[in-house]
Amino acid sequence: MSNDTYCPVAFNQVYADNGGKYRLCCHASPNHTLDHMRVDNTLPFDYLMSDEMEDIRLQMLSGEKIQGCEKCYKLEDDGYKSWRQWKYKADTVRLSEIENVGLKLRINGSYCNLGCYMCHPYNSSTRRAELKATNMETEWQGGGGVDDVVNVKSGRFEEILEHIHEHVAKIGYMNITGGEPILLPRMWAFLDNIPDEYAKNINLTFDTNLTHTTFKGRSIREIVDRFNHVRFGVSCDHYGERLEWIRYPIDVKSFEQNIRDNWDIIKGLNCTVSLLNVFELYEIKEYYATNFNVGVSFNNIVRNPKTLSIKNLPQDDKDMLNIKYKDDPMMSMVISELEKDINQMEYDQGILYCEKLSAHRNTDFIGVFPG
């Protein structure tokens, strides 16, 4: 079996995005042999066990490169560890049959109470509303744009729940995401659908902004009590007033209290690296380590839209950041993005976008991010 193209997710994960499309993982581009299978016409385990997915698995095992996996191949060709290697552990995990399946299904809705300035709008209702209000939605068209969201109809949602109930014995873990999952009624229905005798064997991870820990009388603590191992990956891109601007309109004091109250179940903080925080990554790490004893990872990099990518920073800034981060394995994704070519027009568009968004919000972009 070749190590060059093999990835465990083809054997044990079902991912569907908020456009209703199945993809090999959340980092993968579309594989066009799968285009005809969508959440509205193909149930999750039917997709995973389809002839098309079996062909992909056989191609991986024979060392063929897979369409949709180009991002990982490019990182590896450039000398960096890819998601295939460090996240999915392709170098150590060996699967030749479907087992301990993981589900990451964006079927619960995309409502989110925050409008993080760099978030894909198909993952946040607040982002979509802001982009439409400022006439900037065209910047995100295609592959996660304002008009790409597909809401799963209630009847289809019930069919999916029944299907998952029938295959629950095959499930080893689930990644719960959104929108903001804690605030999605369907998320609670999705988890309630898992019988207790199976829930106790299933691991859960959450992607959450942790601005809320309860919803309509429900608490995240009851989830912890039902399932085998529950950890929350918390999205957090700065601290203080810069966090307030990036993840508008977050209440920073409430957010920090939620970290304190739930420290024991927080897997870590996930920082999305962009133009507005790349200079302070070590300071962000130190702030949360010192005040909350939680770690911060920097593996999420803004690549789309390109206007917010750190690749477009002035060369002097990029040279300084390369010196600052180049010897740190945690920053390999950051360095790989910094090495890309500068596009001055994209950079100018990114700054203009931030200024327009700030004016819409009546916030002080230049004051919060001087220079």
- What CATH fold (topology level) applies to the domain 100-368? TIM Barrel (3.20.20)
30 preceded by a cis bond (ω within 30 of 0): no
3-state SS, residue 184: coil
* pLDDT at 143 (0 to 100): 45
Residue 102's contacts (CB-CB under 8 Å, 6 or more residues apart) are 9, 12, 13, 14, 171, 172, 173, 174, 175
pLDDT digits (tens, 9 = 90+) for 55-70: 999 999 899 999 999 9
pTM: 0.91
pLDDT band, very low/low/confident/very high, at 147 (cuts 50, 70, 90): low
109 preceded by a cis bond (ω within 30 of 0): no
Render 73-113 in DSSP notation, one character per residue. HHHHHTT---HHHHTS-TTT---SS--SEEEEE--S----S
Q: What is the number of alpha carbons within 13 Å of residue 211 lying toward its C-beta?
A: 20
Provide the mean pLDDT of the chain: 93
Amino acid at 122: Y
Confidence check: pLDDT of 91 > 80: no
CB atoms within 10 A of CB 41: 11
* pLDDT at 304 (0 to 100): 84
Confidence check: pLDDT of 182 > 80: yes
pLDDT digits (tens, 9 = 90+) for 324-351: 999 999 999 999 999 999 999 999 999 9
In the chain, which residues fall in CATH 3.20.20? 100-368
Least confident of 73-82, 101-110, 184-193, 242-251: 73-82
Render 338-366 in DSSP notation, one character per residue. HTSPP-HHHHHHHHHHHHHHHHHHT--HH
pLDDT digits (tens, 9 = 90+) for 268-278: 999 999 999 99
Q: How far is the C-alpha of 56 from the C-alpha of 140, rounded, in Å? A: 30
Confidence check: pLDDT of 145 > 60: no
Tokens 């029944």: give the residue: 162
Confidence check: pLDDT of 146 > 70: no
* pLDDT at 295 (0 to 100): 97
Please report how the helices 281-292 and 252-261 are oriented relative to each other, as an axis angle in degrees rounded to 10. 50
Give Dmax over CA atoms of the chain in angstroms.
Answer: 58
Contact yes or no for 218/263 (Cβ under 8 A) = no
Confidence check: pLDDT of 144 > 70: no
